[in-house]
Copies of this chain bind each other. A is one copy, B any other.
Amino acid sequence: MTTLDFWFDPASTYSWLSAARLDGVAEGAGVATRWRPFLLGPIFKAQGWDNSPFNLYPAKGRYMWRDMERQCAALGLRLARPDPAAGQFPSNSLLAARCAVAALEQDWGRRFVREVYRAQFSDLADIADPAVLSAIARRLGQDGEKLLALAQSDAVKAQLRANTEEAQAIGIFGAPFFTVGDEPFWGNDRLDEAVRWAAGQA
C-alpha cells in the first residue's frame, strides 16, 4: 500500500489545518499516512532566513494571518493571533517536535499533535514550555513526565534530526508538505490532491 508522508513543524500555522484535516480525508480514501515532525528553522537558515518569512516579509505575514482566520473559520478552529513582537511567533518548536516524535509512537500521538497546535494557536500557550507539553499529555490521560523524558532521549533527538535532514535532502522548503514516494505536494491547499495521488498509486 502506498503511504503518504505528512511533514510538519509544530510552529507552522498552515500545518495545523492539515493536522486537523488529514486523518479524515486519508481514511475516507483508504490512504495510509505517516506523520513526520521536522524543524523548518535549519531549512530556513540554509535559505538565508533567521526568522519566519511571515515576520521577515510583513505584507506576506499580514496576509497569512487574515487567510488563516478565514481557513480556521471554515474548519471550525478558533484562531488567536500571536504577537511576533512579544516573541509569540514563531514558537521555538524543538521540544514540541521531539515530544511529537515520541508521542507518535503511541496511538494517541496524532491527537497530541493536534492539541499542541490548539494550545498554541487557540490559547497562545508557549509550546517551548515543558509544563505546557506535559499538561497536554496528561489531559489525554498519559504520563506527561514520561513523555518529556522520552523527548530528551538520544533516540528521539536523533530521529527528529534525521527527519529534518531527510526533509532538506528531498527539497522540502516549507510546511505542511506531503510526499507520496517522490511526488511532492506543498501546503494545506494540496492535501486533498496528495491524498488522491496516493489513492491512485494504491
Interface residues of A (CB under 8 A from B): 47, 57, 59-60, 62-63, 66-67, 70, 171-174, 184-187, 189-190, 193
Q: Which residues of B contact A47 (CB under 8 A)?
A: 57
Do A63 and B189 touch (CB < 8 A)? no
**Cβ-closest chain B residue relative to A57:** B47
Q: Which residues of B contact A70 (CB under 8 A)?
A: 193
A172 to B66 CA separation, bound complex (whole angstroms): 13
Do A186 and B67 touch (CB < 8 A)? yes
Q: Using A60-B174, A67-B184 as known contacts, list a sample of 6 further A-B pairs with CB atoms less than 8 Å apart, ordered by residue number in A.
A: A59-B171, A59-B172, A63-B173, A63-B184, A63-B186, A187-B189
**Cβ-closest chain B residue relative to A70:** B193
How many chain copies?
Answer: 2
Q: Which residues of B contact A189 (CB under 8 A)?
A: 187, 189
Q: Which residues of B contact A67 (CB under 8 A)?
A: 184-186, 190
A62 to B193 CA separation, bound complex (whole angstroms): 18
A193 to B74 CA separation, bound complex (whole angstroms): 11
**Cβ-closest chain B residue relative to A171:** B59
Question: Which 7 pairs from chain A and chain B are nearest by CB?
Answer: A59-B171, A59-B173, A189-B189, A60-B173, A63-B184, A47-B57, A63-B186
Q: Which residues of B contact A66 (CB under 8 A)?
A: 184
Q: Which residues of B contact A186 (CB under 8 A)?
A: 63, 67
A57 to B47 CA separation, bound complex (whole angstroms): 7
Q: Which residues of B contact A173 (CB under 8 A)?
A: 57, 59-60, 63
Q: List 12 A-B contacts (CB under 8 A).
A: A47-B57, A57-B173, A59-B172, A59-B173, A60-B173, A60-B174, A63-B171, A63-B184, A67-B184, A67-B185, A67-B190, A189-B189
